[in-house]
Structure 1
Amino acid sequence: MQENETGADPGPRDGGLLGGWITRAELAEELAVSIDTLCRWDTRRIGPPSVRAGRKVLYRVESVRAWLREQENKKAKGRR
């Protein structure tokens, strides 16, 4: 998830209806996990929030970032 000059993620479809959203395959690549792992996380409701549009599963980039921050905070609290 690269950021542009303004610090905002342009998303794969910047300016379009799906600007700021990524597919399951794109997220799997970004996180270096398999698509199956994301499917398991979705089933267990432990991964980033997603929406389904027909057969497509989409993730809002900002929601994924918030989820990552939450995971970071959980780990930091566990160290105390």
Structure 2
Amino acid sequence: MTETSPAPAETDLFRGYVDEAEYCRQRGISVRTAQRDRQLRQCPPYTLIGQRVMYRIEAVRTWLLERERQVERKASAPRAGGRK
């Protein structure tokens, strides 16, 4: 009998996660900004593996959606002193 090794996808423990550097690159911020955001608790949920910071992709997406702002458009009122 020959042993077959599991497919790489089955053994990838960090599938669905990005490391701090990749998170910062995609967000367009510095690592220092990400560190400050964590200290101020203004960041998406993260996981520490030793000293390595990992972000779960779906948690980051949820965090971004929670911060989505809707722009309310108000009807513009006629301006005072308009042209005649």
**Please, what TM-score do these two structures have when normalized by structure 1?**
0.73
For residues 11-22 of structure 1, the aligned pairs below 5 Å read 15=9, 16-22=12-18
The structure richer in helix per residue is 1
Aligned residues: 63
Report the alpha carbon displacement of residue 55 of structure 1 after superposing the two structures with TM. 1.0
- Give the equivalent residue in structure 1 for 2:64: 68
2:50 pairs with one of 45, 50, 54: 54
Report the alpha carbon displacement of residue 44 of structure 1 after superposing the two structures with TM. 0.7
Partner amino acid, structure 2, of 1:48: P
- The separation in 2 between residues aligned to 1:62 and 1:23, in whole angstroms, is 14
Provide structure 1 residue ranges, at least 5 long, that are not aligned to the other structure: 1-13
Report the alpha carbon displacement of residue 60 of structure 1 after superposing the two structures with TM. 0.1
Provide structure 2 residue ranges, at least 5 long, that are not aligned to the other structure: 1-7, 73-84
For residues 32-47 of structure 1, the aligned pairs below 5 Å read 32-47=28-43
Give the structure, 1 or 2, with the largest relative contact order (CA under 8 Å, sep 6 or more).
Answer: 2
**Please, what TM-score do these two structures have when normalized by structure 2?**
0.70
Q: Indicate yes or no: 2:31 matched with 1:28.
A: no
% of aligned pairs identical?
Answer: 33
Q: Deviations over 1:55-75 (max 9, x none)?
A: 100000000000110111xx2
